[in-house]
Every structure is written in structure tokens, then in C-alpha cells.
Amino acid sequence: MEIIPAIDIIDGKCVRLSEGDYDRKKVYAEDPLEVAQEFERYGIKRLHLVDLDGAKAKKVINLPVLKTIAENTDLVIDFGGGVKSTEDLKQVFKAGAQQVTGGSVAVKQPELFESWLVDFGPGRIILGADVRNGMVAISGWVEHSDWVLEEFIQYYALKGIYHVICTDVSKDGMLKGPALDLYRQLVERFPKLSIIASGGVSCYEDLESLRQIGVTGVIVGKAIYEGNITLAQISEFSNVN
């Protein structure tokens, strides 16, 4: 299981939200590059970079932040937020992302998303399956779709998707523990998919619980910024596991 730190961007700054609420924002760092470089110093290899401005505006906003981090670190970056067209996707890849996470576009423009899987390969396209009350949430979690989570994942599994990031919105930024039952169900139902858990991780023990469930990755954000999990612990966990 790989631990993937998250950097969420609003106004070019590193922030975290609570339950996806833009009005409950906390700024943790003025310079996301410094945060990314600190991750790298502890041997972390991957970064989950989210353009929250872009997710809300439905267009990529913080491309310069991506470019700066990509040019000044060796982190493997997956980028999400506001990618709505093939041109957006190409710009994000050109700016240095190795993978792109798409959620809203997979809901609203399935033919376009499916074409990305064919043209760019399932290794570079991640399905963002964010869930609130069992239903897929989109557009920075300010909208709900008509998709039931597992039906949504199943649909794209048949289209060739491999990587799935699933965030339980009700858990995100709350530091009350991840939705273990949800991830257990997803791993059992989709054993051939790479399920990446996101939301609610509060302590080192949560990482061990998720590892035992069998997810292939876990995204950690607020627990790092609040000091509940140290980068040294993440480094140790990664080396041991």
C-alpha cells in the first residue's frame, strides 16, 4: 500500500477543507512547492495535487502550481480539478502531471472520459469516485449526480479503468477515521482494480487498518498538516510495508 500525501490548492496556497465545504477552509502553507519538497525529503514518491479553484470553476486554474512542483521535484504527480476537455488534459500532462483524476467529467461527459482511456491509456487516467450518502458527488463536491457509487465504478471498470480514488466526502478533513466498511466493500467487489482510499485518515493506526483491508493506496492530507501523522512515520511505514 502506497501513502500519497495531498496538496489542495486555493488561490495558489496549500489548504484543507472540512467535508468539502469551501467556507470551512484552513490555509496551511503559502508556498505549495515548499510542502512538496518537504515530502520528497522524506522519501515520498507520489503527490495528489488538487486544484480546488478549478474544481469549483469547472476549468483548470492552478496550472502554474503544478508546473512549479513538477519542475522542482521528482514526485509522480496525479492532478485533479477542473479538467473538462482533451485540451485541458494535454495542458496538465505538459505541465508535468503523470496522471489525471477525473470525476465530474466521467459523470457529465462519459464519451469524452472513455476516449481518454483509449487515447492516453488507463495507467494515466484515474477515476475520481467521490461519494456522499452513497451517491457520486462532483464539481468540487458541490453537486450530486444520479450515480450510485458501485454502479459508477462498475460502469468504468467495464470500460477499462484501473485506478480509482474514492473519497468519502463526509469523512474528508474531519480526522475521525476513514470509511473502512466502504473500502472493504469496494476491494471485495472490485478485486482487480487499484482502489485508493481518501478522506478521514486521522492517525498512524488508520494506515494499518487500510493496509489490512487491501487498498493499494491511501491519500493523506489534514492528518499530516495537523501533525497527527508525521512524515517520518510515513517514511517508516512505507519502508516496512
CA distance 48 to 201: 15
Cα–Cα distance measured from residue 52 to residue 39, given in angstroms and rounded to the nearest whole number: 20
Res. 81: pLDDT tops 60: yes
> Which residue, 200, 124, 134, is CA-closest to 163?
124
Give strand pairing partners of 218: 3, 197
What's the grid cell of residue 106? 466521467
Boundaries of domain holding 125: 2-240
Which residues are 8's β-sheet partners? 15, 50
pLDDT value, residue 209: 96
Instruction: State how many domains the chain has.
Output: 1
Q: Is 8 among the catalytic positions?
A: yes
- pLDDT of the residue at 170: 78
Strands 2-10, 46-51: parallel, antiparallel or unpaired by DSSP? parallel
| 165-217 pLDDT, tens digit each | 998 887 766 678 999 999 999 999 999 999 999 989 999 999 999 999 999 99
pLDDT at 228: 94
130 carries an active-site annotation: yes
The residue ranking higher by pLDDT, 52 or 22, is: 52
For the stretch 87-134, pLDDT in tens is 999 999 999 999 999 988 999 999 999 999 999 999 999 999 989 888
Backbone angles phi, psi at 97, to 5 degrees: -75, 140
Which tens digit of pLDDT belongs to each residue from 24-56? Answer: 889 999 999 999 999 999 999 999 999 999 988
Q: Which of 130, 168, 172, 206 is catalytic?
A: 130
- CATH code, domain carrying 158: 3.20.20.70
pLDDT for res 133 = 84
Residue 19 has pLDDT above 80, yes or no: no
pLDDT score for 237: 87
Distance between CA atoms of 201 and 208, rounded to whole angstroms? 11
pTM of the model: 0.92
Mean pLDDT of 63-75: 98
